Amino acid sequence: MLEQVVQAIGWLDANDRDTIIRREQLQQAIPSLQAMQQDLVTLGGRGVRKYIEQKGIRTVHDVLVILRRLAREHGHAVVYKRAKKNNGNTPVYLYQLL
Query: Which tens digit of pLDDT belongs to each residue from 13-51?
Result: 888 888 888 888 888 888 988 888 888 888 877 888 888
Mean predicted lDDT score pLDDT of the chain:
83
Q: HSE on the CB side for 73, CA within 13 Å?
A: 16
Q: Quick one: pLDDT at residue 38?
A: 85
Q: How far is CA 29 from CA 21, 58, 84, 88, in A?
A: 11, 10, 23, 27
pLDDT band per the 50, 70, 90 thresholds, residue 81: confident
* Partners of 96 in the β-ladder: 79
Whether 88 has a pLDDT exceeding 70, the answer reads no
